[in-house]
Structure 1
Amino acid sequence: MKEGSITKQPGMEIGIYTLADLGPDPHTGKTISARQRVAEIIEAGKMADEAGLDVFGVGEHHRLDYAVSAPPVVLSALSQVTKQIKLTSATTVLNTVDPVRLFEDFATLDLLSNGRAEIIAGRGAFIESFPLFGYDMSQYDELFEENIELFRKLSTNEKVTWNGHFRSALREAQISPRPVQKNIPLWVGVGGTPESAARAGRLGTGLALAILGGDPLRFKPLVDIYREAASQAGFLPEDLKVGVTGHAFIGETTQQAKDEFFPYYSNYWGYLNSQRGGVGTRMSRAEFNQLSAPETALFVGSSQQIIEKILHQNELFGHQRFIAQMDIGGMPFKKVAENIERLATEVAPVVRRETSK
């Protein structure tokens, strides 16, 4: 294989991502080990690659109820058992990582994967990494701004001289290794704040929208803000990328998908709310039915229903990428594997065809 030779399929990129949560199966009450969870993530990545999906993402958490705290390590393992699929963090908590270390880790991943490394940067759902690594939450925005600016400088220069507020200065520092790609693709993950969307546009990074429910129309202003900020900063429209990330479950029929997914989805939000310090009340079936209605952003249904939702959002956002989180709520790997197959064989071909017209 030539350096950086990845087969680009026409139309929208389709992929999956995992946050590696360790939740109990709602039907059995059993929670798998971190070792098994990581092994299943590697197997899911292999399946996604062999099925022809475009992207595989791994999240970062620093808690005992999640199995992955070091995405570049897991992605490096995946790089050795996959051939084409792009490998991204989902997300890297950029505020609490040294940008030099981050660049070196992902440049190494890029070498191992022959040019397939990417980064989605953001705060993530939790704040444990701030005290863990000695950072102050009150400096969240300043840390993010400084770290992303330094990362971008490291990407374009083999030797860097730099001064900042939060780490030691660099004096003609050699930044190695250099990746296969000219620049490791960088996306900013945005959950709903206009300031984050504007920042992504101003910096010319990709915009990764986390749309977990509700009417997707409410996210269109964020895409507009992103593109306007990018235009004002001098970036060309064709250089901008928008991605949508969201929860998904695909069944033979929409009713079957809802019936199968509900116990896991309710379970997931129950323990997620507890982890965030709230009351771990499980979602009711009525609430779930409302969240998974045809006009909402929750991707639960038949393959046709998922296709229609993705294409509807594409009309709103004109996005180039969709990646789905499927393995939540203690879901057994067998069901995850079935979803990967359906996404790759029934959904992706239609979406790619329709979005390449």
Structure 2
Amino acid sequence: MTIDTDKLEFGLDTFGDVAFNDDGSKMTYRQSLQNILKEGRLADKLGIDVFALGEHHREEYSISSPEIMLSALASTTKNIKLSTAVTVLSSDDPVRVYERFATLDGISNGRAQIMLGRGSFTESFPLFGYDLADYNELFEEKIALFNELITKDKVTWSGQKTQSLANQTVYPRIEQHQLPVFVGIGGTPESVLRTAKYDYNMMIAIISGEAIRFEQYIELYKNATKEYGAKVRQIGVHSHGIITETDQEAYDIGWKYIKQSMDKVGLDRGWPQMTKSRYDFEVGQGAYYVGSIETVAQKIAQTISELDISRFDLVYGTGGQTESTRIKTIELYATKVIPRVKEILESEDDE
């Protein structure tokens, strides 16, 4: 298999984890948001392809309105694509989502993207008055309405869990309907089939286990696009990572911060606390891209090659890592790891 490295894209994702200061205190939300804007500008300056922000409504995260953050970045960056990771469509209004992204697309001069998700975190449902019992039905209806808005100038729609529309045009318009839409996939076949049905791009969130186990979902997506008469769009993966000069330094940071984050999430979901053996597995063979430049580059190259994907997003700053750690990861990812990944893949093609 030959991989065209010129067509590969590399992104940075953050959920807006509120960082710890060097003295162990927590940043304020204002400081956190200002630093994320700084990180986005740095990513643009260093040539990262995509900067993606997650939507959360929890104490440990500072980004509840990613589109506002992306709009701020739109006026202070030049080339980087600006995306969510994800927009929780189930607890939002598809019409308002369309309007916000049409606005972002105009401000950024066509650099906006959207990643839709059902919500792996569910705190937004009661917060905005939705019943978790309708979890699946809400997403099914809302993505269908959003697809009407994104593909048609005038929409007629009869909703059960959404509003009804009669020959309605929503403004501002996205020029030529050219807003790249991704669906965030956590590992359910139904989500994969839905992505293919609507002719959308697919982003696989791999937060545990070996990447190769998701090969079956990529094959399902490709086969489903044929059945639906759609195209195979961009397929990407996003996973947590930390990059430093040495494997040991990155390992120690991850054990402190990634473990802390996963244990906190696990309290809500009934997961056991992360053990050292589990962490070692994820760093070695699993979903954590934690280590030195060469270690992380080799692992990313392996994932791209095994899954035949064209985009890889590194989730940085997990668990509230200090600002210096976050900046180091961004700088090494952009200037060292990405060039090395391409070099590895190109050398494999020559063999």
Same fold (TM over 0.5): yes
Q: Scaled by the length of structure 2, what TM-score is found?
A: 0.91
Residues 55-84 of structure 1: CA deviation (Å, up to 9, x unaligned): 001111122332111111111011111111
The match for 1:245 is: 238
Distance in 1 (CA, whole Å) between partners of 2:333 and 2:119 is 25
Q: Cα gap change, 1:124/1:326 in structure 2, threshold over 3 Å: closer, same or farther?
A: same
Deviation at 1:260? Answer: 3.2
The match for 1:259 is: 252
2:308 counterpart of 1:323: no
Distance in 1 (CA, whole Å) between partners of 2:31 and 2:271 is 28
Residues 15-54 of structure 1: CA deviation (Å, up to 9, x unaligned): 11111123656x7441111111111110010000000000
Q: 1:221 aligns with which of 216, 221, 246?
A: 216
Contact 1:96 1:133 in 2 (8 A): yes
Distance in 1 (CA, whole Å) between partners of 2:187 and 2:271 is 23
**SS class of match (2:238):** strand
Contact 2:149 2:155 in 1 (8 A): yes
Deviation at 1:110? Answer: 0.3
Q: 2:283 aligns with which of 292, 295, 299?
A: 292
Provide the aligned C-alpha RMSD in A: 2.0
Distance in 2 (CA, whole Å) between partners of 1:263 and 1:232 is 46
Deviation at 1:251? Answer: 1.8
Distance in 1 (CA, whole Å) between partners of 2:87 and 2:331 is 27
Distance in 1 (CA, whole Å) between partners of 2:294 and 2:196 is 33
Q: How does 1:161-176 map to 2 (within 5 A)?
A: 161-176=156-171
Contact 2:10 2:50 in 1 (8 A): yes
The match for 1:157 is: 152
Q: 2:63 aligns with which of 56, 61, 68?
A: 68
Q: 2:8 aligns with which of 12, 27, 35?
A: 12
Deviation at 1:146? Answer: 1.6
2:41 counterpart of 1:41: no
Residues 324-344 of structure 1: CA deviation (Å, up to 9, x unaligned): 111122211111111111000
**SS class of match (1:10):** helix
**SS class of match (1:117):** coil
Q: 2:327 aligns with which of 318, 337, 357?
A: 337
Q: Which amino acid aligns with 1:11?
A: K
Q: Scaled by the length of structure 1, what TM-score is found?
A: 0.90
The match for 2:77 is: 82
Q: Cα gap change, 1:50/1:192 in structure 2, threshold over 3 Å: closer, same or farther?
A: same
Q: Which amino acid aligns with 1:128?
A: E
Q: 1:208 aligns with which of 181, 187, 203?
A: 203
Distance in 2 (CA, whole Å) between partners of 1:30 and 1:95 is 35
**SS class of match (2:26):** coil
Contact 1:187 1:207 in 2 (8 A): yes
Deviation at 1:279? Answer: 7.4
Distance in 1 (CA, whole Å) between partners of 2:183 and 2:317 is 23
Q: 1:348 aligns with which of 309, 334, 338?
A: 338
The match for 2:115 is: 120
Residues 240-272 of structure 1: CA deviation (Å, up to 9, x unaligned): 111100000112122332133321222222322
Q: Which amino acid aligns with 2:314?
A: A
Distance in 2 (CA, whole Å) between partners of 1:210 and 1:200 is 14
Contact 1:117 1:184 in 2 (8 A): yes
Contact 2:20 2:322 in 1 (8 A): no
Contact 1:22 1:65 in 2 (8 A): yes
- Comparing 70-79 with 136-145, greater Cα deviation is found at 136-145
Calculate percent identity across the aligned residue pairs: 38
Instruction: Point out where structure 2 has 5 or more consecutive residues left out of the alignment.
Output: none
Contact 1:158 1:176 in 2 (8 A): no
Q: Which amino acid aligns with 2:316?
A: M
Distance in 2 (CA, whole Å) between partners of 1:181 and 1:45 is 27
The match for 1:270 is: 263
**SS class of match (1:167):** coil
Distance in 2 (CA, whole Å) between partners of 1:180 and 1:71 is 22
Distance in 2 (CA, whole Å) between partners of 1:322 and 1:263 is 24
Distance in 1 (CA, whole Å) between partners of 2:176 and 2:338 is 26
The match for 2:136 is: 141
How many correspondences in the alignment? Answer: 343
The match for 1:100 is: 95
Residues 109-141 of structure 1: CA deviation (Å, up to 9, x unaligned): 000000011111112331111122222222222
Contact 1:62 1:69 in 2 (8 A): yes
2:104 counterpart of 1:109: yes
Contact 1:11 1:354 in 2 (8 A): no
Contact 1:10 1:353 in 2 (8 A): no
Distance in 2 (CA, whole Å) between partners of 1:353 and 1:100 is 44
The match for 2:295 is: 305
